Chains A and B, each alone.
Chain A
């Protein structure tokens, strides 16, 4: 087995555990490179179909290329796509810094989705190497009744046994890509020929390294116009992946606060 085979096998195992143990599941699809890989792995795990709804938390702020890609893939892959409209920024916690407040809309959208859909588990394509608080995550990460992440009291998780029993009314985040790195995602996308939003590839000396809403995400300087270029770039870069994500660095703990409150 190559290292990519091992990553794939571990993710497939996680997906199948969740599907067997948890009643009502949904997958959060941001339409970015990571959740595309996640969808692909679902098709591997379940022999071609994705056996749960795929949800986009929509702020109406994504770039047009993203919406076009979403609709094409949903059709071609026969996804059960649900678009959840997130509440407006005015409704967010006013004590949060402004950009973080914009990001918090998704937290609220997710809260609504969980409440209305009665989901017990949601798949989220986050990775440990993206961000320091994500590095502290469990693969099966339980949430409190109000959807919060109690980072100081996480369950034991070892030997591939996950927390699959919960108190009534709580839900679990499932992170099948937690152990992947950014470069793994690209190498796997290349090997499997997974479709990708073209915004990741450089045009006029700029590309998106991490895709988010247009008001809080910015392209980085790059000449990487193909997947191979991106892989080569990542091998030498020292710029962090989420450098183009404004809300991460607004204050020392802005991202931790976002995540504790239920952000992805």
Chain B
């Protein structure tokens, strides 16, 4: 029974071209001549046309909005299903007006193939070229050209050849070879579904034959695995990493590496609900997996097969299209959404802007609305990415400003930091440093509310250990903010980035053999978990615990009263949450212990954790 849509998958075709060249008319005609219009639709269109004093207007089949019919233009993209004897289709109508380019992009980006409609009397005008260029950027590579309104030139072969030659040369410069160039009259139905016998000079396919000849897109199952993490669920005692495989395959038993943190874990199961358990999954599937280890994984991470490369970069060159009113200039900061990750990026340079007319490039200071440009972006966080020509789905992203998508971009090139940063070897081993210093390097990460006593404890411990001859140094949240954390505020994103920087710095100190006491409120559990990953085994979390009421009563810097008065936004404990550590290595409650007692506990812990109890100098020949 189940015979529909299955023998051949559906194909998505976008209809593009300059305004008024006949896109909506072509679709109306195509639907009608293939018998795809529901009963009553033709009568409805008759009535709509009559009311406006027009002859039968095919474009009203598609232009569903009152405003579209009244103004005779397509404002927004629309989609409609139809079938030929070959297979089912989704037809996407895209507006041709420059003002609605973002709607054209919305419609075209999901298409497998395109029909470019050109009015024979006008040739390839600005939007015809812009659409062709964007098709290429959006990754739509199969294009057939429809030269329309041939009835207006008496199906003159010479006029057709002129337009066909012009657009074919243009497309070929973009690397697109049109699969067909077809002379039609959309209004009268010539060469849409059937041939017009009187026109004997055209031997090529009709529009329907041309769309039936398009190849359906294939999921990139044979490419390297890219599994961007969408979310992590804990429906019961399982911890399920959810996402969609963008390319490649994944099997139970595979070892995955989660970039950019590069933690690894093995796939234990592919979870499902109301479905047989799977042992493998491939590109296009939305799945959930469980791992053999409780590694830190979050949305935005990208899993690859361990031992295979993926790019990690802070600096990338992209080709972007800018859809927002106003210009894009150097120094502008935006959000880049790539796969499931979000990054704050700043425009570092505008290399060139593309001239749509002749495809030449020229240097420019700014990118204007609807222009295409090559731009260098610098990200604050590591971007996991591919080059778009290698793996398109993880090589492209959208740009967001405030609440809105303002453009899109594909990755042309990037400076890979991940690949080159194999830890540089040292001539001195960690154990040798420990032997000389009398203690190992490490990080004591003091987290707690403002006023809980972190700084007092940190400075007390620094002094005490120093007197014992230790290499010790305090990184205090307040001090750090001016230099290392310059430019960062107190939004969750900025706090996360501040903590990442401090953690990386602390790790360097620890590697250099020192004991680092990092003293930061660090209210978010995920941020501290990331710091733990950066610090590795050297990381020790200390919760400086004191009730909010106690901290607020102390209020050494008067911050709580200011926060209560609404003068400090997002103040931890008052107007922003503090997430207590679940399993810190040590917890010191300064609300119940005296200052001396609290310092004693911390000192004992530090000596136990880093002191040379087990390692003695004599074991090493220096």
Contacts and interface: CB of A to CB of B under 8 A. Distances in A.
Interface of A: 1-3, 5-6, 8-10, 12-13, 16-17, 19-20, 43-49, 128-129, 132-133, 135-136, 138, 151-152, 154-159, 161, 163, 165-167, 179, 181, 183-184, 187, 190, 192, 228, 231-232, 235, 238-240, 243, 252-253, 256
A138 B6 CA distance: 26
A3 B6 contact: yes
Given A1-B285, A156-B323, A187 B2 contact: yes
A10 B284 CA distance: 8
19 contacts: A5-B285, A6-B9, A12-B286, A17-B230, A43-B273, A43-B274, A47-B240, A47-B288, A49-B235, A128-B79, A132-B78, A151-B75, A151-B76, A154-B103, A156-B103, A165-B400, A167-B403, A187-B2, A240-B41
B230 A16 contact: yes
A49 B285 CA distance: 20
A184 B244 CA distance: 22
Given A179-B90, A239-B38, 17 more contacts: A6-B9, A16-B231, A20-B230, A44-B273, A47-B233, A47-B273, A128-B79, A129-B81, A136-B64, A136-B65, A159-B396, A163-B405, A165-B403, A190-B2, A239-B39, A252-B48, A252-B66
Contacts of B271: 47
Contacts of A135: 64, 78-80
Contacts of A8: 286
Interface in B41-95: 41, 47-48, 51, 62, 64-67, 75-81, 90
B397 A161 contact: yes
A152 B403 CA distance: 18
Nearest to B38: A240
Contacts of A243: 40
B4 interface: yes
Contacts of A157: 106, 405
A201 B406 CA distance: 47
Contacts of A240: 38-41
Cβ-closest 7 pairs across A and B: A132-B64, A158-B109, A240-B38, A156-B102, A12-B286, A165-B403, A161-B398
Interface string B273-308: 111000000101110100000000001000000000
B52 to A, nearest CB: 11
B108 to A, nearest CB: 8
B4 A187 contact: yes
A239 B41 CA distance: 10
B78 A13 contact: no
Given A228-B1, A231-B2, A163 B106 contact: no
Contacts of B381: none
A190 B3 CA distance: 13
B224 interface: no
Contact of B244 (A13, A179, A252): A13
Contacts of B5: 3, 183-184, 187
A128 to B, nearest CB: 5
A232 B109 contact: no
A135 B105 CA distance: 16
Nearest to A14: B286
B405 A155 contact: yes
Given A155-B405, A232-B1, A239-B39, A2 B105 contact: no
A136 B76 contact: yes
Interface in B211-258: 219, 230-231, 233, 235, 238, 240, 242, 244
Contacts of B400: 165
Contact of B4 (A43, A44, A132, A231): A231
The interface centre, meaning the residue of A16, A45, A166 with most chain B CB atoms within 10 A of its CB, is A16
A16 B66 contact: no
A136 B403 contact: no
A17 B404 CA distance: 17
A46 B79 contact: no
A192 B1 CA distance: 15
Given A47-B271, A138-B106, A152 B76 contact: yes
Contacts of B105: 156, 158
A44 B274 contact: yes
Contacts of A184: 5
Contact of B9 (A3, A43, A136, A232): A3
B185 to A, nearest CB: 25
A56 B305 CA distance: 45
Given A135-B64, A156-B405, A161-B337, A45 B106 contact: no
B402 interface: yes
A154 B40 CA distance: 29
A35 B37 CA distance: 26
A6 B218 CA distance: 12
B65 A133 contact: yes
A1 B273 contact: no
Nearest to B232: A20
B357 to A, nearest CB: 24
Interface string B440-473: 0000000000000000000000000000000000
Contacts of A183: 4-5
B398 A13 contact: no
A43 B37 CA distance: 35
A157 B106 CA distance: 5
A159 B286 contact: no
A46 B47 CA distance: 48
B408 interface: yes
Contacts of B397: 159, 161
A45 B65 contact: no
A65 B36 CA distance: 34
Nearest to A242: B38
B305 to A, nearest CB: 21
Contacts of B235: 46-49
A239 B65 CA distance: 22
Contacts of B323: 156
Contacts of B79: 128, 135
The interface centre, meaning the residue of A3, A17, A47, A190 with most chain B CB atoms within 10 A of its CB, is A47
A17 B337 CA distance: 13
A10 B12 CA distance: 15
A70 to B, nearest CB: 21
Contacts of B238: 47
A134 B355 CA distance: 36
B10 interface: yes
A240 B80 CA distance: 13
